[in-house]
Amino acid sequence: MTASSRRIGDRYVLGPDLASGGMATVHLGKQLGAEGFHRIVALKKLHGRFSADADIVDSFLAEAKVAASIRHPNVVAIQDVVREGDELFLVMDYVPGLSLARLMAGAETVRKVPPAIASAVLLNVLEGLEAAHGAAADDGTPLRLVHRDISPQNILVGADGAGRLIDFGVARSAARLKNTREGLVKGKLLYLPPEVVEGEAHGIAGDVFSAGAVLWEALVGKPVFAAETDGAITARILVGDVSPPSRSEPSVSEALDAVVLKALEHSARKRWKSAAEFAAALRVAAPPAPAAAVRAWLAQECGPTLEERSGQVRAFEVAALPDVASPARASLGAAEELETRPKPRRHAAAYGTTALVALLVAGGAALLSSRLRGESDLREAHAPDANALATARVDAMAPAAPLEASVLPAASAPPSPSAGGASTADAALGHEAGVVGAIARPAALPRPAPSASAQKSLDCRVPYRLDSEGNRIYRRECLQ
């Protein structure tokens, strides 16, 4: 395990960082479960300066809980929230891949994305966005979720060729904070719709505008409202002077120009009415590349970066865990030990079936009556080691049914020779008789132990003797 790795709560291990933004740092993480189960996750750690602010944390947590209600393959949703002291973490599925921002910045050839590839990625994002806009609470009440921070940094292009939207829940917190924390959303101004810049609410139309700005940038290779200063960027957004992408990139068709420009209309009423409507028009204007083509483009542009990331994940996945017992595993206790012990051999089970028939024919109902009174004594005489093992292990467990205590431990222990000189085979038969007794009745009720005088006068721990041919001759006094 790397030096930076440590336990977070009972179920997670914090690994190396993958990326850092204005509000949080994303780390590799490992989710732990019972029986050695684990899986790789992404842990987003809120920066310390925000973790200490109660108002920020409360807003962050409230919206993270709402965002967790989104379930769509193109949305990387929040799976859990963990607090460790003053630290706050969001747990998300780990998706191998890179952000669209990283892809365009790290491309080995040019920063532009081919129209078919851009269409495929944005269609996935719009489908996830539509699912969020239409999400409802358990009682059917619309949640009216709006992302508010659609940007290349928040679009993940997976190694499987699918585009995904990330950071639901975090976005609204960032939007609320932008008016009180100077510089918090620096860099996201490029994708804000004009109505939000002017102080109005950010609604569905605002998300459509931001998605259009991302598509324009992917096609052209630079932000649509790029300028030297924030003031200049703001002025360009408010003026709304947007040129068609084809003016900078001839491979963009006129039909695709029209789709992008409609998404970037200055007036919210003139834009696509929904993410679904935007997606339908985009699919016609620029048929999307298949996932295999997106994967190939991803490998071509950022292959070395992806390989480095994969190696980092593999190293973290196989690293040893810290030497601290997880409560999830510690709670298994003796139950886990019993379940992982070697199973009885097949021929022993078959031999036990033969013994069962012999016992029923020879002893009949009288034997079962004797077993009900002296089962524990008989088991003690034939398999003392197995009985001791059962007692130690069952005591360590939560209270178990008598059937489990009688059968499970003894079944995996080899039979011991009896005190009366019986053969190993006879001991095995006696052991199987104990199993029969346990199965043939409901769980035994507690009963008082026989007195010392009774044991001395009548010892039926072995209720038979063997004749010269090895046949069992049952004692009359033990069959009463």
Phi and psi torsions of 226, nearest 5° = -60, 135
Q: Which of 154-158, 296-300, 342-346, 389-393 has the lowest mean pLDDT?
A: 389-393
Is the separation of the CB atoms in 75 and 128 below 8 Å? yes
Of residues 170 and 71, more confidently modeled: 71
What was the pLDDT predicted at 64? 81
Express each pLDDT in 203-240 by its tens digit: 999 999 999 999 999 999 999 999 999 999 999 999 99
Q: Hey, which residues does 308 pair with through a beta bridge?
A: none
pLDDT band at 377 (very low <50, low <70, confident <90, very high): very low
**What one-letter code names the amino acid at 312?**
Q
Residue 136 CA to its chain's centroid (Å): 23
Using alpha carbons, select from 390, 461, 385 the residue that is nearest to residue 416. 385
Q: Is the dihedral of CA 215, 219, 225, 230 positive or negative?
A: positive
| Domains of the chain from N-terminus onward | 96-318 (1.10.510.10), 336-479 (no CATH)
User: Mapping DSSP to helix (H, G, I), strand (E, B) and coil, where does residue 162 land?
Assistant: coil
Catalytic residues: 149
Mean pLDDT of 47-55: 86
pLDDT above 70 as % of the chain: 61
Mean pLDDT of 86-113: 87
Of residues 457 and 115, more confidently modeled: 115
Taking 50 as the threshold, does the pLDDT of residue 439 lie above it? no
**What one-letter code names the amino acid at 261?**
L
Cα separation, 158 vs 393, in Å, equals 48
